[in-house]
Chains A and B, each alone.
Chain A
């Protein structure tokens, strides 16, 4: 995995882990019975010929071991932690459903991703994408013109097949605000047309927004909760400004 140059800093590591250590995370890290019942519930474990190192509690233990050293870890340990938390868990929470205590390994991994961020260890593409949210309000760095143009284009295409079908933009007080993954306007605009078709035929009172329309939140994947809050707020702001009743997100 490509990554930003590391800025290894034990004090920051310790400070970040103290900050991020919530009551639940602490409880989970301490209480795991090491019973192994979560092993064969993880797709990484199953897809890697039942490699014990892919079992959820092992990954959580790796995080705990790193935190216990209070930041006094070496580069190799940090690198191996980085590989585990980015490369060996999709934070799907399936293991949680099978753990007798309901230990949320995904939250532990997310926290450790945040620890890696504090050391400048983030996959390079993810850094770029997070910057895009701040600069353009969406992960693909689409400008507002591009976005509106794509919607207009889809509307025209659709009207050939379904006369009267429209894509309402910034309609106040609609029942539903439909948000999409920014990859759709960028690479698969037809996906938007499919949804419009459904809304049109169902007679839904809906709208799309000229801003705050990207419902992905890749900052969350980086355990970068401050940025993640900013990204979620974009959609929330749009919904509040348009006074819609609900927000629907793309599949």
Chain B
């Protein structure tokens, strides 16, 4: 088995496994601990406040969108490209089809190309902001830079591979390594927010809601 096959086969399985398994464990731990130590969540459970809290932040209809429109717009562009591009990239779709004979809608290559650039551009905005804004720098740790790099690396290498800059095979190997690395670190770092966002918004929405106070 060569390096490509290793990354395309067992290591891909492993990284999906760690990613999914890790998130399931995190959720399970949250539920188990919260039943003992966070009883107000269950005592004041409210589907209404749960949904209102999530909806107001998953679409930018909230106080922060008004107060910080630029960060909000860049943040939304960043995340849309981050999530949509890899899922709906034609080349990824082909791989899914090869393995499982499943397929779904995909982006045109041109659009995907632009979205990759947007993701990288927004990532660079966050990088610069992190380095220059004193109130962001003060809370920044090395992990924040590493995670931003780990998030952007699959996009940068993917872009280079598509345009066949440098040695295609090497770039593609790097792309796969970074992509799988990103999946693996998600459950163990702040990137777990992709799922915990919903949990946190829900509990805070209900906590504010039980006092009839909106959290947006």
Contact = CB atoms under 8 A, between A and B. Distances in A.
A1 interface: no
B30 A28 contact: no
Shortest Cβ-Cβ A-B pairs, 4 listed: A102-B204, A23-B34, A52-B138, A36-B136
Contacts of B53: 102
B136 A35 contact: yes
Interface in A169-185: none
B215 A102 contact: yes
Interface of A: 21-24, 26-28, 30-37, 39-41, 45, 50, 52-53, 55, 57-58, 61, 96-104
Interface in B67-85: 67-68, 71, 75
Interface of B: 29-34, 37-38, 41, 53, 57, 63-64, 67-68, 71, 75, 129-130, 133-141, 144, 190, 192-193, 196-197, 199-201, 203-205, 207-208, 215-216
Contacts of B34: 22-24
Contact of B64 (A31, A32, A45, A100): A100
A31 B204 contact: no
A111 to B, nearest CB: 11
A58 B204 contact: no
B190 A98 contact: no
Contact of B139 (A21, A22, A34): A34
30 contacts: A21-B37, A22-B37, A23-B31, A23-B34, A24-B34, A24-B41, A24-B203, A26-B33, A27-B196, A32-B190, A33-B193, A34-B130, A34-B136, A34-B140, A36-B135, A39-B136, A40-B67, A40-B135, A52-B137, A52-B138, A97-B208, A97-B216, A100-B57, A101-B201, A102-B53, A102-B200, A102-B201, A103-B200, A104-B204, A104-B207
B107 to A, nearest CB: 26
Contacts of A50: 134-135
Contact of B204 (A35, A45, A57, A96): A96
Chain B facing A: main interface SS: helix
Chain A facing B: main interface SS: helix
Contact of A36 (B133, B199, B215): B133
Given A39-B135, A96-B204, A98-B67, A24 B38 contact: yes
Contacts of A35: 71, 75, 136
Contacts of B204: 96, 101-104
B185 to A, nearest CB: 13
B193 A22 contact: no
A27 B199 contact: yes
A34 B139 CA distance: 6
A243 B186 CA distance: 53
A52 B134 contact: yes
B205 A102 contact: yes
Contacts of A27: 30, 196, 199-200
Given A34-B139, A35-B136, A101-B197, 13 more contacts: A22-B38, A23-B31, A23-B34, A31-B192, A31-B196, A33-B190, A37-B64, A45-B135, A52-B138, A97-B215, A100-B75, A102-B204, A104-B204
